[in-house]
Amino acid sequence: MLNIGFLKGKVDLKCPISPDLIKKYQSISLNILAEKGINEAAFFATGRYEGVEMVDRMEVVKKSDILFCSENISNEELSNIKETAHFISLLEPYNNKEVEGQMQAYPFKTFSMDMIPRTSLAQSMDVLSSMASVAGYKAVLKAADLLPRYLPMMITAAGSIKPSKVLVIGAGVAGLQAIATARRLGAMVEAFDVRSASKEEVESLGAKFVEVEGAADDKGAGGYAVQQSEDFLKRQQAEVQKRASNADIIITTAQLRGRPAPKLILKETVNNMKPGSVIIDLASSTGGNCEVTEDQKTIQVNGVTIVGNSALANEMIQDASNLLSNNIFNFVNIMVKDGALHYDSENEILVKSKL
């Protein structure tokens, strides 16, 4: 029987093996090894891990035929992985150019789940979309918590309160979840996206789609924004500034794979916003969509609160762990056949995610 092993991340503390997946792994003839304490940060009870061998980290590394860790591991640990094993991680090779060469120096096969194509066939394994959905939801809740105003319209004996205005920049998975959440909370929502195809999705959620003519639209970009012309960016920034001056909350989600995030909210725009307004920048890890964003920090500029956090999904760690665990299982399921490791060189999902 093959062993599948799960290691704790040192920064990413999500649990990659939720209790609900144990029987599923057993059903495809996999024995489960996990690093001791892997479940604790996600608040999964240890008593629910019957059938899982909770062992020391290096034992997981040495015994696993399939090994998962959400981050890269040490050179010592990499050198102890079985030659015939499959190592699965999220290595961001589009941002870290050296990692592919590093992994090719080892005999085992390496797969990076953030390289899985964002297609209908791979949807159940698309960890980026899963985490983006959680982040979009959490972004609205965090903004609502920081905003010194209501989101919905309120009619009280003391007077009426107008609904807050939310501007969402980027209508991908995170943006659409943010739109839906803000609408459920009663806010008025506007959304930008360079992809005209997203207009219908935005409007179906009850938001207004703000269109800037002349965008480069690349349907093969895998859910990411594409590089735009200088002329388009200037017109987009002008439209954003106009809308931002009336917004109570701005949520930005636009990222370019392998490139810095486009600067869509200038410092001048922030200075023109109403005091008390909130910006949640989900693109902060790649430079941010807001010119003054600081990654992993919450700052105030001219009375406007700016939150730079691309890992908001980690603040809803239990559900994020459940989704991550499902993504991993669905990915592993296509590389195991009749209880043995099977690399299908014609499977697009495996080929495109392999380093």
| CA angle (87, 90, 93) in 5-degree steps | 100
State the catalytic residue, choosing from 102, 106, 118, 318: 118
SS3 label, residue 189: strand
DSSP sequence for 144-177: HHH-SS-SS-EEETTEEEPPPEEEEE--SHHHHH
Specify whether 183 is catalytic: no
| Nearest alpha carbon to residue 45 among 12, 18, 16, 8 | 18
According to DSSP, the β-strands at 340-341 and 154-156 are: unpaired
Class of residue 315 by CB neighbours under 10 A (exposed 0-12, middle 13-18, buried 19+): middle
Please report, for residues 32, 150, 179, 275, the alpha-carbon distance to residue 249 in angstroms, rounded to integers and kept in the order given. 44, 11, 11, 11
Active site residue: 70, 112, 129, 277, which one?
A: 129
Active-site hit among 104, 123, 229, 245: 123
Q: 177 an active-site residue?
A: no
Q: Is 118 a catalytic residue?
A: yes
Task: Report, in angstroms and rounded to the nearest whole number, the Rg of the chain calculated over CA atoms.
Answer: 22
Contact 157, 180 (CB under 8 A): no
Burial label, 236 (beta-carbon count in 10 A; 0-12, 13-18, 19+): buried
* β pairing state of 165-169 and 249-252: parallel
Whether 94 is catalytic: no
- Residue type (1 letter), 196: S
Catalytic residue, candidates 25, 49, 137, 224: 224
Query: Active site residue: 126, 193, 248, 281, which one?
Result: 126
Query: Which residues are catalytic, by number?
Result: 118, 123, 126, 129, 224
